[in-house]
Amino acid sequence: MTISERFLKYVSFPTMSDENSETVPSTDKQLVLSRYLAEELKSLGLIDVELDDKGYLYATLPANAESSVIVGLIAHVDTSDAVSDGPINTKIVKYEGKRICLNEEKNIWLSPDEYPSLNRYVGNNLIVTDGTTLLGADDKAGVCAIVSAVEKVIKNNLPHGCIKICFTPDEEIGRGADHFDVKKFDADYAYTVDGGGLGELEYENFNAASAKVELRGVSIHPGSAKDKMKNAQLMAMEFNSLLPADQTPANTEGYEGFFHLIESHGDCEYAELIYIIRDHDRAKFEEKKALLSEISKKIEEKYGAGSCTVAIRDSYYNMKEIIDQNMYTVERAVAAMKAVGVEPEIVPIRGGTDGARLSFMGLPCPNICTGGENFHSRFEYIPIESLEKVVDIVERLILDTASF
């Protein structure tokens, strides 16, 4: 099976996770792919292959050379709920620098005018969809790269240390590390293969929190509402207006943080706002959370006690705090990329990965590229040539363990 054939097989499995589900994993369909992967890993000769009751698939590539380290490789099987996960209709297009017709019937085009990243891949073979679903390269390209690299190492009997593998569920809904058994995994450090374009290497991510703002008003007949009605929906609009208008996702980039209103609903009596809060800088992150509480107090002072409450829950922190103490993990990834002719591009993640939480759980875990572009979108694509290079990078990471 070629690398592209394996990838196309994996994306044929719908694996969307569900944030509203209380089961673990959040959807049974993730398990269908994980069971398939378990059998594939066994057929390649890996040992201790176990799909646990939470949907985590563990496996071991035992060492065939002396090594002082155990390295982990991690990817997630679920896909985002931002776009439909199926049925996924794929095709391979030789990119010639012009816009690509994804769907003639629906007049859907993938254009370099809208997605300039395409300009880097002239002459490459792109895997795309018909423009009605996501592709699933996030993170089935990561899964594919790990399995394909392991297959190459085994097939060619190349020397390596002990490699631990885990394919996780529910990363896209922020639960990918919830039931990860770091002790059982037993690696000294690991890499999530869950990044974007070829060469990306990430060990900085947002500090993240969620916030639920509840506004409580007073409803009365509008004909006699003078000085009596308190409209919770208007109070919610007022609350949002007191946040800095330039600190939203649409107005920020790089290391700049934001408040993102992801949900709002209500009526005159009750309204609710759901935010996510992000910032790379821990101090600014704490300031953002404090600002929400300050605004809540202002609303209360104006409309009365109990009219506004804010509940804030931290989600994950910037793994840089941990990786800075374990920079050899980054240095080894840089060396692996350069060894296979890929120029590393160290960039901050404007989001998070399982690796962020795992780093704080005692497993230093930078994130490396998958080669894909436009994740969580109907316009997602991956150059086959990039995916093949990611396989080379992962293979190099495996082989380098024999020298440590």
Q: How many CB atoms are located within 10 Å of the residue 15 CB? A: 25
| Residue 331 bears catalytic tag | no
Q: In what order do the strands lie in the sheet with 70-76?
A: 47-51, 57-61, 162-168, 70-76, 189-193, 367-368, 200-202, 345-346
By DSSP bridging, strand 345-346 and strand 200-202 are: parallel
Say which residues have a Cβ less than 8 Å from residue 185's Cβ, sequence separation at least 6.
58, 72, 164, 166, 363
**Could you say which of 78, 81, 194, 373 is catalytic?**
78
Q: How far is CA 109 from its chain centroid? A: 25
Three-state secondary structure along 26-60? Answer: CCCHHHHHHHHHHHHHHHHCCEEEEECCCCCEEEE
**Could you say which of 40, 130, 151, 171 is catalytic?**
171
The CA-to-CA distance between both ends of the chain, in Å, stands at 31
Secondary structure letter of residue 275 according to DSSP: E
The whole-angstrom separation of Cα 238 and Cα 128 is: 43
The whole-angstrom separation of Cα 213 and Cα 290 is: 13
| Residue 81 bears catalytic tag | no
- Which residues are catalytically annotated? 78, 171
